Amino acid sequence: MANLTIDMGNTRIKLGMFERNILTGWASFHYDQEGELMAWMEDHPVDSSILSSVKSADHPLVREIQTRFNPNRFNGRSPLPVLLQYQTPDTLGQDRIAALCGGQALYPERDLFIVNAGSCITYDLLTRSGIFEGGNIAPGMKMRWQAMHEFTGRLPLVDPDQRVENDQILGRNTIEALLLGVTQGIQAEIDHYFSILKLKYPGLELVMSGGDAVYLSALEGRAMILEPNLVLYGLNQILQHS
C-alpha cells in the first residue's frame, strides 16, 4: 500500500512516498515550481495521501492540490499516536506535531529532544511514554542573518553556502563574525537545552531534522540522530493512525 505525505512549509514543499513504514522516495520543490510539483505527483500514483501546510486553506496551491489529488488534510482534529501536553494545541504547528509522531515511530520508548531546523527552529521534548511535554521556538539560521542585514545599516547579507573552519569559534572579519555569531549561537542553544533536560531524562537522545539539520549537525559535537525527513515519517504515521 503506497502512501504520499505532503509537507508544505514556509519556503519549500516536501513529498515522501511510503510503502507502509518505509520511505521509498522523496522530492522537494519551491513554491515557484508548481508545474514540476504537479508532474511529480501525477507520476507517483498512491492509495492514500495526507497534506500538512503552514499555508491557509484558500492558498492557491493548497486548493489546487486538494482539488486534483484530494489528500487527507491534517488538522487539529486528526487522531495522533502521541499525547500533547500543550495548553494551546490549536496553535501548535503541524510540522512540530508531525516531527513528534515521526520520532515516536522511528525511535519508540526513548526520551527525545527533537530539534527541527527550518525557517524557525523548534526545540521539543517527547518522553519515552509518547508524551509531548512542551517546547520552544526560535528564529532559524537564515532568518537571523536576514534580520541582521535588514535591521542594521551596514551589515551584509550572509551567503549560507559560505563556510569557516569547523573548529573556529570567533570571526576574523565581518562575514565570519556573522556566520559564527549565528551558527555558534544555535549550537549553544542546543547544548543549553539538552544539558538541562538530560538532568531529568538521563537517557535523552538528540534528534535533528529540517532543512538546515545537515548543516547544523556538522557543527554539533555531541552524539545525535540525524533524520532530515522526520516530518514526512510523522505524517505517514498520522495517516495510518486516522
Q: What mean pLDDT do residues 223-231 have?
A: 93
Structural domain for 50, as ranges: 1-73
Domain boundary among 11, 42, 73: 73
pLDDT tens across 187-202, in order?
A: 999 999 999 999 999 9
Is residue 58 among the annotated active site residues? Answer: no
pLDDT band for position 89 (50/70/90)? confident
* Angle of CA points 8, 13, 18, to nearest 5°: 95
pLDDT band for position 110 (50/70/90)? very high
237 and 150 in a common domain: yes
In angstroms and rounded to an integer, the radius of gyration of the C-alpha atoms of the chain is: 19
Q: CB-side exposure of 112: number of CA atoms within 13 Å?
A: 30
The whole-number pLDDT of residue 29 equals 96
pTM reported for the whole predicted model? 0.91
51 and 106 in a common domain: no
The whole-number pLDDT of residue 102 equals 96
| Domain CATH number, residue 64 | 3.30.420.40
* Angle of CA points 223, 12, 185, to nearest 5°: 40
41 and 159 in a common domain: no
Domain boundary among 35, 54, 73: 73
62 and 118 in a common domain: no
| Mean of the per-residue pLDDT values of the chain | 92
Can you read off the three cell numbers belonging to residue 170? 570567533
pLDDT band for position 160 (50/70/90)? confident
How many structural domains comprise the chain? 2
86 and 66 in a common domain: no
120 and 225 in a common domain: yes
The whole-number pLDDT of residue 78 equals 82
pLDDT tens across 34-55, in order?
A: 999 999 999 988 999 999 998 8
The residue from 32, 43, 90, 95 that is catalytic is 95
Whether the pLDDT of residue 173 is over 90: the answer is yes
The whole-number pLDDT of residue 88 equals 85
The whole-number pLDDT of residue 175 equals 94
Beta bridge mates, 25: 17
